[in-house]
């Protein structure tokens, strides 16, 4: 999966550092608190805990995160971790030093804000296909950021750090709602990725995802896909986009690009061959789409 990075926030001036481990800068808003943590030296077993649910996103460097009494996992830029209220994060900083610090944000979100947002979604957009209702699923707590999720986290950081207007809290509360929606969509895509095969027999969106993956070289159209889901075209498109954050055609493009990347990594195929094997029928379009998604052309990726 391609990682989308958060663009980062200003570093603390060296003279302002009160501590070299998890030096904290806090921006308090109405329904949340944005914390920026910087660490400038190696450390182990640093504990951190919040009373509210927290979305953390890694900006620079590397941490090893221990959660839910499980073995630690590497936590890198381009990733986010959702932590429930009062859960202790135990963090190691294996590589941090003055010229290679780590930087991370932790956004704690009030229980009321989370409940109000998901109540509103369950009221306005009931009858979900992938899960029973809108909400966060904490079994998918370690996420690779999607483009949408990165963009809204970036925007939120800008609001917290830079925005100075009277309406700052209101702007932040709209952004928070979007952030919660993007989080559920990112989780839904992760869930689909991990369990579409098991879910295909009982779930319409999983059935369509399975069909797309198994027939990736076909020319798909909405008519045919909505037919597979036994839904009208409009209902299928709307549902797919709302729950996964992508239109069906955007999803197909991402699947093809993911497959193309795998073929290129094998190193046995020419770019032209990979283009057609992944379901593209226009080499120029393929090269442009690949570069847009992964930041380099297929040729450079293959050589790289």
Question: Angle at the Cα of 179 (from 129 to 30), degrees rounded to 5?
Answer: 130
Residue-by-residue DSSP string for 229-280: TTS-HHHHHHHHHHHHSS-HHHHHHHHHHHHHHHHHHHT-S-HHHHHHHTT-
Percent of the chain residues topping a pLDDT of 70:
96
Mean pLDDT throughout 194-200? 92
* Cβ proximity of 12 and 23 under 8 Å: yes
> 37 forms bridges with which residues in the sheet?
24, 104
Q: Which two tokens stand for residue 125?
A: 């957009």
Q: Which two tokens stand for residue 252?
A: 């197909």
How many whole angstroms separate alpha carbon 118 and alpha carbon 254?
A: 28
How many whole angstroms separate alpha carbon 91 and alpha carbon 39?
A: 11
Mean pLDDT throughout 185-208? 93
Mean pLDDT throughout 169-195? 94
What pLDDT does 154 receive? 92
* Cβ proximity of 64 and 94 under 8 Å: yes
What pLDDT does 224 receive? 94
Residue with tokens 């808003």: 29
How many whole angstroms separate alpha carbon 164 and alpha carbon 14?
A: 25
What pLDDT does 132 receive? 87
Q: Return phi, psi of residue 220, to 5°.
A: -85, 150
Pairwise pLDDT comparison (78 vs 16), residue with the higher score: 78
What pLDDT does 22 receive? 84
Question: Given a cut of 80, is residue 10 above it in pLDDT?
Answer: no
Confidence grade of residue 141 (pLDDT, cut at 50, 70, 90): very high
- pLDDT tens digits for range 233-284: 999 999 999 999 999 999 999 999 999 999 999 988 999 999 999 999 999 9
Mean pLDDT taken over the chain: 92
* Nearest residue to 190 (alpha-carbon basis) of 150, 152, 151, 140: 140
Q: Please give the C-alpha separations between residue 121 and each of 10, 107, 243, in angstroms, as whole numbers.
A: 35, 21, 11
Mean pLDDT throughout 21-36? 92
What pLDDT does 2 receive? 52
Q: Please give the C-alpha separations between residue 89 and each of 40, 50, 116, in angstroms, as whole numbers.
A: 19, 9, 26
Could you tell me which residues come within 8 angstroms of residue 215 by beta carbon, excluding any fewer than 6 positions away?
Answer: none
Per-residue b or e along 232-244, where b marks 16 or more CB atoms closer than 10 Å to that residue's CB = eeeebbebbebbb
| pTM to 2 decimal places | 0.89
What pLDDT does 1 receive? 46
Q: For the ranges 141-145, 169-173, 199-203, 300-304, which has the lowest average pLDDT?
A: 300-304
Q: For the ranges 5-9, 179-183, 242-246, which has the lowest average pLDDT?
A: 5-9
168-199 helix and 147-161 helix, angle to the nearest 10 degrees: 160
What pLDDT does 3 receive? 56
Q: Order the strands of the 142-144 sheet from edge to edge.
A: 23-28, 32-39, 102-109, 53-60, 79-83, 142-144
Question: Angle at the Cα of 183 (from 180 to 186), degrees rounded to 5?
Answer: 155
Domains of the chain, each with CATH number or no CATH = 1-196 (2.60.120.10), 200-304 (1.10.10.60)
* Cβ proximity of 55 and 98 under 8 Å: no
């Amino acid at each position: 999966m391609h990682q989308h990075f958060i663009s980062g926030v200003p570093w603390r001036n060296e003279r302002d550092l009160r501590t070299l481990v998890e030096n904290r800068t806090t921006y308090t808003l109405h329904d949340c608190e944005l914390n920026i943590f910087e660490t400038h030296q190696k450390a182990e077993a640093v504990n951190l805990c919040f009373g509210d649910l927290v979305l953390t996103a890694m900006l620079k460097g590397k941490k090893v995160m221990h959660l839910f009494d499980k073995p630690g996992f590497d936590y890198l830029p381009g990733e986010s971790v959702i932590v429930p209220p009062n859960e202790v994060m135990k963090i190691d900083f294996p590589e941090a030093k003055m010229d290679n610090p780590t930087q991370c944000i932790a956004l704690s979100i009030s229980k009321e804000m989370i409940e109000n947002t998901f109540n509103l979604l369950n009221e306005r957009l009931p009858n979900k296909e992938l899960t029973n209702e809108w909400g966060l699923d904490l079994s998918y707590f370690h996420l690779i950021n999607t483009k949408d999720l990165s963009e809204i986290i970036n925007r939120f950081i800008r609001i917290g750090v830079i925005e100075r207007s009277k309406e700052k809290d209101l702007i932040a509360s709209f952004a928070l709602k979007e952030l919660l929606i993007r989080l559920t969509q990112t989780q839904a895509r992760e869930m689909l990725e991990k369990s579409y095969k098991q879910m295909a027999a009982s779930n319409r969106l999983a059935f369509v995802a399975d069909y797309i993956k198994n027939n990736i070289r076909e020319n798909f159209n909405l008519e045919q896909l909505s037919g597979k889901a036994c839904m009208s075209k409009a209902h299928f498109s709307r549902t797919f986009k709302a729950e996964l954050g992508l239109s069906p055609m955007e999803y197909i493009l991402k699947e093809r690009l993911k497959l193309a990347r795998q073929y290129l990594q094998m190193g046995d195929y020419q770019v032209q061959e990979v283009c057609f094997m992944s379901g593209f029928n226009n080499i120029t379009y393929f090269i442009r789409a690949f570069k847009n998604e992964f930041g380099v052309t297929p040729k450079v990726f293959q050589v790289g």
